[in-house]
């Protein structure tokens, strides 16, 4: 994993916010982004793209990342907005919200001086770099991907209790065969993205 953060720190950037999202391809639930600022030079052993980790390992790393972070921000955008403005714009909005929500351990707002973003650019007047497969080449973006994933998985457990029958605790809102069959059988819930369901609903 290349340490692109170190190169930026050597140029004088001290508060580098690394940003990633989860839930972009789901049929149900919010798209969730995390912005995180990690201490200079810190590398947490085992951190990599959240999709390549087991749930147990993610939980363990999540705790260590949060404990060691300088600041963390979460941004969420729900199904109604996703249906209205599309998933790409919703993803960028969630990322922007995450940056604006950055807070330190004392719950004080933190403004980063540089943004490293996984595969997107966002409308903030802060220098930024978009990295394709950022969670594979940036330690900070990989940290953000883990935090976003664990945070959203917990939301999925809550949604599953509210909207039963879809097994969201299990599929996390993604379009598994079981999930798609449940939508056909009982129809969409209030947290389903209607714009994603055209083929399933025959519209």
pLDDT in tens, 10-50: 999 999 999 999 999 999 999 999 999 999 989 999 998 78
Distance CA 79, CA 56 (A): 28
Q: Which of 44-48, 49-53, 57-61 has the lowest mean pLDDT?
A: 49-53
Domains belonging to the chain, first-starting first, are 4-152 (3.30.420.10)
- The tokens of 142 are what? 């990989």
Which residues sit opposite 35 in a β-bridge? 19, 73
Supply the DSSP symbol for 174.
-
- Residue 146 CB-half CA count within 13 A: 29
> What is the pLDDT averaged over residues 3-10?
88
Q: How far apart are CA 180 and CA 10, in angstroms?
A: 49
pLDDT for position 52: 86
pLDDT at 2: 55
- The pLDDT tens digits for 129-140 are 999 999 889 999
Residue ranges of alpha helices (H) inside 69-107 are 79-85, 87-100
Report the C-alpha gap between 66 and 14 in whole angstroms.
18
**What mean pLDDT is predicted for residues 4-15?**
92
Q: Is the pTM of this model over 0.85?
A: yes
For 83-137, how does the pLDDT look when each residue is reduced to its tens digit (9 = 90+)?
Answer: 999 999 999 999 999 999 999 999 999 999 999 999 999 999 999 999 999 988 9
Burial environment of residue 175 by CB neighbours within 10 A (0 to 12, 13 to 18, 19 or more): middle
């Amino acid at each position: 994993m290349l340490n692109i953060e170190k190169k930026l720190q050597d140029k004088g950037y001290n508060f580098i916010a690394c940003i990633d999202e989860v839930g972009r391809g789901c049929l149900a639930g919010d798209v969730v982004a995390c912005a995180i600022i990690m201490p200079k030079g810190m590398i947490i052993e085992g951190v990599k793209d959240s999709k390549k980790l087991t749930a147990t390992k993610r939980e363990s790393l999540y705790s260590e990342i949060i404990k060691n972070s300088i600041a963390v921000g979460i941004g969420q955008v729900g199904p109604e907005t996703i249906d209205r403005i599309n998933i790409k714009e919703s993803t960028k909005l969630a990322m922007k919200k995450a940056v604006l929500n950055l807070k330190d351990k004392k719950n004080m707002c933190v403004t980063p001086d540089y943004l490293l973003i996984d595969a997107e650019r966002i409308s903030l007047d802060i220098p930024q770099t978009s990295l394709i497969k950022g969670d594979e080449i940036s330690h900070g973006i990989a940290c953000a991907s883990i935090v976003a994933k664990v945070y959203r998985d917990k939301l999925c457990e809550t949604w599953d209790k509210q909207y039963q029958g879809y097994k969201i605790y299990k599929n996390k809102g993604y379009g598994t065969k079981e999930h798609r069959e449940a939508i056909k059988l009982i129809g969409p819930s209030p947290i389903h993205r209607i714009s994603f369901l055209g083929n399933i609903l025959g519209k």
